[in-house]
A and B are shown apart, each in its own frame.
Chain A
């Protein structure tokens, strides 16, 4: 069974640009969550999508948005990039939303904003 895949693995952008990251969950998984990981703040929750609906949202500005498609693949978009957006962006897939459902993380997309 293939794991969670994220594309691209590395991105370099400049301030003010926008970026779209993609996450393909494990086959059959309907929940996709996004996290930002930085050395200072650790892992911070961005949002969760389940069956194409945003289920939960973290405390990030509106520049961060996401969506989920009918095949459960998810994208997140960051507009008007800032230097502080440089981070590892991880997505995690789960069979269900809530319960004891284990979340499986992808390898992440390393975003560098210059």
Chain B
């Protein structure tokens, strides 16, 4: 089966750095995705990791350790607009575009 865990809620201060963790147990692994979803809107793609290591894209970075079944999303220089739900999703061995999503981490950025 597939199981993805991430914290339900996090709060951080504008300008700070926040790390959102995701652990997974899946039957096979073929990539890990992070999506951002603002309330009432569709999810938007943030990052994709398939090999171990850090992928950096502007203020956002994502890390993957396949042996530990672990990933994190790092958000730097937090802005109020970063308040959103962050979804971790894994593609298993079935291939294609079938993703198993975690329930999301609701991030609140405060002044």
Chain B residue at smallest Cβ distance from A50: B96
B111: which A residues are within 8 A, CB to CB?
Answer: none
- Once A43-B87, A106-B42 are accepted as A-B contacts, the answer to whether A98 and B100 lie under 8 Å apart by CB is no
Q: Confirm or deny: B11 has a beta carbon within 8 angstroms of a beta carbon on chain A.
A: no
On A, residues with C-beta under 8 Å from B are 4, 31, 33, 35, 41-45, 48, 50, 55-56, 58, 90, 92, 94, 97-98, 100-108
**CB-CB nearest 9 A-B residue pairs:** A105-B42, A56-B98, A42-B103, A43-B101, A55-B96, A56-B96, A102-B45, A97-B96, A33-B97
A106: which B residues are within 8 A, CB to CB?
Answer: 42
On B, residues with C-beta under 8 Å from A are 30-31, 33, 41-45, 48, 50, 87, 89, 91, 94-104
- Once A42-B102, A42-B104 are accepted as A-B contacts, the answer to whether A97 and B97 lie under 8 Å apart by CB is yes
Alpha-carbon separation in the docked complex, A90 to B70 (Å): 27
